[in-house]
Structure 1
Amino acid sequence: MDHPTPTQPPPPYRRIVAEIRRRIDRGELTEGDRVPSTRRITKEWGVAMATATKVLTTLRQEGVVRAVPGVGTVVAATGVRTDGGTAPRMDGGTAPRMDDGTAPRTHTGTGPSNDRRHPPATHDHPSDRSPTHLSTHLSTPPSPQPPSLNRTRIIRAGIRIADAEGLRALSMRRIAADFGVSSMALYRHVANKDELVMLMADATFADIELPDPAPRHWRARMEAGARLQWKLYQRHPWVAQYLSLTRPQPMPHAMVVIEWTMGTVTQFDPLTKLRLALTLVNHVRGTAVALEEDLEAEQHTGMDQEQWMASHEPEYERIIGSGAFPMYAGITDIDDAGMLTLDAMFEFGLARLLDGFELFNEGRKGGPAR
């Protein structure tokens, strides 16, 4: 465990641990509430994923939080405010709160509401109110109203949640809570969650800026298109898991990117051209699926890829040392080879795939690739 010296500030992960503890002490987070995920920590505090992972690992080791399958990391003990009072609960102790410590705005009608848009009712008779009371009441500025809803705002809110916590954390209720409205208000703009996720995925493709001027050679254009998709999946890891080649969704903006990628591949008939496009898409998407899987595994285990490999290194050495796997035994240093990084696998696979397309083109035309 790292401990700061009198002249050395605490390491970043320790400062974040202390801040999350303070939120729990103040009652902003109480038992069962979801604490910031690793991705939320990286965005909020501007630290690396390894640091964010160490934060949650430390909190788990100290018994402050616990991992709940399908939910995430939640507070393990009831929070107590620094003034000694018990933290108020609006969800009956069952529903996780938002990562920023807030809960969905609800009002049961049996007590005062915490929603500023619904001030607590008073029961005094108008004649009992003094002029001063009336003046103060009338001069109170109106409470701010939630921002107006529209389809674009809902889609962008969904993307922010999925980027920060993964697609599993997304729900209509969660988005509604961010806007301070009921879930039913969202259904005036989107039919259901399935339609929303499709619109979200297509919107991420709409954000891609296609190079202008575009590469003119067909191989260079396909390579550029593949890299654009790879960067998209790195920004939005959940998109790769959502997309399907066997049950594709009608996503016009995604189709624009694929059309651009294949724009100079004119030497094949339309069906062959489509098959080449889908083969390329499948390589990029298939590799990118592991991006979201790795983030989820990191949050669940508290270890990044390097730490995971280090923890299993003795067992791998025993298996490889048995002599039953000569291919693996010939690799002297996996880390130096870089064979297990997703970027390396994407680059190697892309180059070999395009090499194959070159040979396929030569074989079809009986001459050099154009």
Structure 2
Amino acid sequence: MTTEYSGTGDPARSLALLWRTRERASRKGRPDLSVDRIVRAAIEVADADGLAALSMRRVAERLGVGTMSLYTYVPGKGELLDVMLDTVYGETARPDDVPGDWRGRLEHVARETWALYLRHPWLLQVATTRPPLGPNVLARYEYELRAVDGIGLTDLEMDAVVTLVSGYVHGAVRSAVEAAQAATRTGMTEEQWWQAHAPYLEKALDPRRYPLAARVGAAAGQEYQAAADPARAFEFGLARILDGIEVLVAGRPGAAAPTGDG
């Protein structure tokens, strides 16, 4: 799988694009071209064909313009990727109006992030240890922190909690994305794959040699009609993550019991 890195473009140019502080007028009679149109086309290319297919040439083809005309607005692929990331991060709904307590708000953040990865699977191919410092990235961090503000955590613990939830979703959603891609590329659903392989697995999985694998695997396969159920695993893991944070919060002086459904 192709891995790209955010923050590889020129810092000044990336920040100018992210905050739209220096968007130049189009040249050679192309008033229809803009940073926003270029970024949207790039996202469409990545959504359809993955990050490996993304290039300035492919984006230009999608827009029906010459490749060189893009450089009037976007210096290169590194800067373009930063703006793509910031743009899709702006799609996540904010948890401010979610009824309930911090747990409900954090759960909302996790579900929005899960859905974002499913809409844009190429996000899994971008390493964001050096995140683009755009308006949507910063706004998202702000409202994630607001989800746990005032519940007794230190500033560093607040940062650690939102990082924990984000990292969990990033890992959990990968199997869901891979399952969807496998179905598309093979033309076989998970249930069809399981039905085709289950009889052979039953013969190979000797319960005398693998008693636990045979018993638990049979129960899971019967329930999921697949080798795994990424959505169910996500729900289980998210609940356990929130349970752990709840224990941390409950141990703080003056902590109140959660009021949401959890």
TM-score for the superposition, normalised by structure 2: 0.75
C-alpha distance in 1 between matches for 2:137 and 2:109:
11
CA contact (8 A) 2:102 2:147 kept: yes
CA contact (8 A) 1:240 1:286 kept: no
C-alpha distance in 2 between matches for 1:272 and 1:214:
22
Instruction: Return the match for 2:137 from 250, 254, 259.
Output: 254
In structure 1, the residue matched to 2:68 is 184
CA pair 294-169 structure 1, distance change in 2 beyond 3 A: farther
In structure 2, the residue matched to 1:307 is 192
C-alpha distance in 1 between matches for 2:118 and 2:40:
17
CA contact (8 A) 2:250 2:257 kept: yes
C-alpha distance in 2 between matches for 1:354 and 1:182:
50
SS across alignment from 1:333: helix
In structure 2, the residue matched to 1:119 is none
C-alpha distance in 1 between matches for 2:58 and 2:255:
58
Instruction: Return the match for 2:124 from 233, 240, 244.
Output: 240
Instruction: Return the match for 1:173 from 39, 57, 68.
Output: 57
In structure 2, the residue matched to 1:334 is 220
C-alpha distance in 2 between matches for 1:215 and 1:251:
28
CA pair 218-212 structure 1, distance change in 2 beyond 3 A: closer
In structure 2, the residue matched to 1:217 is 101
CA pair 187-163 structure 1, distance change in 2 beyond 3 A: same
C-alpha distance in 1 between matches for 2:104 and 2:210:
38
Instruction: Return the match for 2:247 from 334, 337, 359.
Output: 359
SS across alignment from 2:38: helix
Which structure has the larger Rg over C-alpha atoms? Answer: 1
* Aligned residue type for 1:334: A
In structure 2, the residue matched to 1:270 is 155
Report deviation, 1:188.
Answer: 1.5
Bigger mean CA deviation after superposition, 154-163 or 322-331: 322-331
* Aligned residue type for 2:212: M
Instruction: Return the match for 1:231 from 94, 115, 118.
Output: 115
C-alpha distance in 2 between matches for 1:189 and 1:285:
31
SS across alignment from 2:72: coil
C-alpha distance in 1 between matches for 2:88 and 2:126:
12
In structure 2, the residue matched to 1:105 is none
CA contact (8 A) 1:161 1:169 kept: yes
Bigger mean CA deviation after superposition, 175-184 or 256-265: 256-265
1:149 equivalent to 2:33? Answer: yes
Point out which structure has higher relative CO (alpha carbons under 8 A, 6+ apart).
2
CA contact (8 A) 1:225 1:261 kept: yes
What percent identity do the matched residue pairs reach? 37
In structure 1, the residue matched to 2:88 is 204
CA pair 264-292 structure 1, distance change in 2 beyond 3 A: closer
CA contact (8 A) 2:95 2:109 kept: no
Instruction: Return the match for 2:48 from 158, 164, 171.
Output: 164
Identify unmatched segments of 5+ residues in structure 2: 3-28
Q: Which one has the bigger helix percentage?
A: 2
Matches within 5 A, 1:60-99: none
C-alpha distance in 1 between matches for 2:254 and 2:95:
32
CA pair 264-177 structure 1, distance change in 2 beyond 3 A: closer
C-alpha distance in 2 between matches for 1:333 and 1:207:
38
CA contact (8 A) 2:56 2:77 kept: yes
